[in-house]
Amino acid sequence: MKRKIKIIYLALLIVAQVLLWRNYPTFRFNIDFLYLIIVYLAIRSSFLTSILAATCLGIIADYFSGGVMGVFAFSRTLTTYLLTIASRFVDLRKNFFIFMMILISLFLSNLMANIFFYFIFNFHITVNLLFIQPLLTALIGTVMVGLNPVKELLDVY
Amino acid sequence: MPFKQETREIRQERKTLIVAIILFINLILISSQIILRNQRSLLQTVVGNLVTPFQVAWQSGSDFVVNQWQRYFFLRGIYRRYQSLKEVQTKLKYQNFLMKKELRDLQALQGLTVQFQDYLVARVIAVDSNFPYHVVVIDRGSSQQVVENQTVINLDGDLVGRIVKPITLFSAAVRLITSSIGGAGAYLESNRLEGFVTGNGNASCTFKYLLGNRPVKVGDRVLTSGTDRLFPPFIVIGQVTAIEKDYLTQNIQVKPYFVDKPIKHLIVIRHEEKN
């Protein structure tokens, strides 16, 4: 039962992100629900699953963001690798650490993507990508995971 | 502390390797979309630059092998072909030599035909070994209307001498112009100065009676002048080899052309020249 709820939960996040991309392309760099899935998988799943999932979700992000294929896949994969290491040393029972982990990791991930976008492909999306998206995503992620019933449901501890 | 439920533990080195592979694949994907100034993607350029040297090396290597292979097949049996061609070449050279000789003889005879109306080809049958520059005997005699004082030349048209006695039915003696007896009226081709050529009994003659102040050069040709009424004019005798100044005249040494050529066949001019 828990497993089905988890799957539905993650699927809803994907749908929410896709809907955001398709219906509100202006805000496509303001929040990243897919990154919440990546973070969750990095915390809870095995290494290989989380890395492959990060790559796949990164490619989906590339496709919908209208950018260059491979940029988000690269940055998300690398960030996931770091997350799998960092998650061992972070106390996920405290929401502050969850918030900071999402914020910093997404910032770093987007910084890397931004390097590709700005310096190689000359795309100017710096502010949204570097600051607004990590902040909003971290806030929403903390809210979505931070509640105790949700934590129990998703086995975040 | 948080914990992850790893069903199957992967070693850290392997994890790093997996991530590196995935990141590398992503980089390839990205580089395929970076367009350079040459209108080709970064991936195409990099791959091209990496692969081209190997392609060139492969092509060069295969060309080399193919060429050597073809060369090997070409060279097989080349020695035998070389030998056969050499044999053919030797035969052709010999044929060429024979044909040249024949052509030369024909041209000489044709020239004689133009210059002289009636002539006779004779073969030398005897030479006096004690006086080789004096008299030779030919195989034509009075039966072929050979008479005394007829002019004798070689196949190249150079003056050799004249018919002297004894004359038999089938042989006659030829006194060479190198003989110390007799001589021939002659002139220098370069300045048409006339004189008299007489033999020295060796391979040379002397051009006499030319005044000392007349210009003569070594190498000038000497021809018969016809003033002696023995030899027809304009027959080539030889060339000047040395000049010695005397009190009034010059002592000019002339080397006849015929002494350096084979003397097996001679031509007897039976009548005077046509022109």
Domains and CATH numbers, chain A: 2-153 (1.10.1760)
pLDDT attached to residue B172: 93
The Cα of B23 is separated from the nearest Cα of chain A by a number of Å equal to 6
Summarize pLDDT for B193-227 with one digit per residue, the tens: 888 999 998 889 999 888 777 788 899 999 998 88
Q: Which of B49-53, B119-123, B144-148, B209-213 has the lowest mean pLDDT?
A: B209-213
Check if the beta carbon of residue B233 is closer than 8 Å to that of residue B223.
yes
Residues 6+ apart with CB under 8 A from B274: B115, B116, B117
Question: Does the beta-carbon distance from B5 to A90 stay under 8 Å?
Answer: no
Q: At A77, list the tokens.
A: 């994969």
pLDDT attached to residue B2: 47
Question: Does the beta-carbon distance from B23 to A88 stay under 8 Å?
Answer: no
pLDDT attached to residue B115: 65
Confidence of residue B111 (pLDDT cuts 50, 70, 90): low
Nearest CB to A77; choose among B2, B23, B30: B23
Confidence of residue B189 (pLDDT cuts 50, 70, 90): confident
Select the more confidently predicted residue: B129 or B109. B129
Summarize pLDDT for A45-86 with one digit per residue, the tens: 888 899 999 999 999 888 887 667 888 899 999 999 998 888
Question: Does the beta-carbon distance from B2 to A81 stay under 8 Å?
Answer: no
Q: What is the mean pLDDT of residues B229-254?
A: 87
Strands B221-224 and B236-245: antiparallel
Q: What is the mean pLDDT of residues B28-49?
A: 85
The Cα of B12 is separated from the nearest Cα of chain A by a number of Å equal to 10
Q: Which residues of A touch B7 (CB under 8 A)?
A: 46
Question: Does the beta-carbon distance from B15 to A91 stay under 8 Å?
Answer: no
Summarize pLDDT for B248-274 with one digit per residue, the tens: 888 899 999 999 888 888 999 876 544
Nearest CB to A48; choose among B1, B18, B33: B18
Nearest CB to B27; choose among A46, A74, A81: A74
Residue A19 burial (CB count, 10 A): 11
pLDDT attached to residue B181: 87
pLDDT attached to residue B71: 87
CA distance A145 to A96: 11
Question: Does the beta-carbon distance from B33 to A116 stay under 8 Å?
Answer: no
Q: Which residues of A touch B11 (CB under 8 A)?
A: none
Question: Does the beta-carbon distance from A51 to B18 stay under 8 Å?
Answer: yes
Q: Which residues of B touch A2 (CB under 8 A)?
A: none
Q: What is the mean pLDDT of residues B77-88?
A: 90
Please name the residue that has the structure tokens 């070994």: B129
Question: Does the beta-carbon distance from A46 to B29 stay under 8 Å?
Answer: no
**Average model confidence (pLDDT) for chain B?**
86
Q: What is the mean pLDDT of residues B227-254?
A: 87
For B24, name the nearest residue in chain A, comparing CA atoms only. A74
Question: Does the beta-carbon distance from B27 to A70 stay under 8 Å?
Answer: yes
Question: Does the beta-carbon distance from B26 to A55 stay under 8 Å?
Answer: yes
Q: At B233, list the tokens.
A: 């004019």
Q: What is the mean pLDDT of residues B40-62?
A: 90
**With helix as H, strand as E and coil as C, how does A5-66 read?**
HHHHHHHHHHHHHHHHHHHCHHHCCCCCHHHHHHHHHHHHCCHHHHHHHHHHHHHHHHHHHC
pLDDT attached to residue B106: 78
Residues of chain A with pLDDT under 50: none
For B6, name the nearest residue in chain A, comparing CA atoms only. A46
Summarize pLDDT for B11-26 with one digit per residue, the tens: 778 888 999 999 999 8
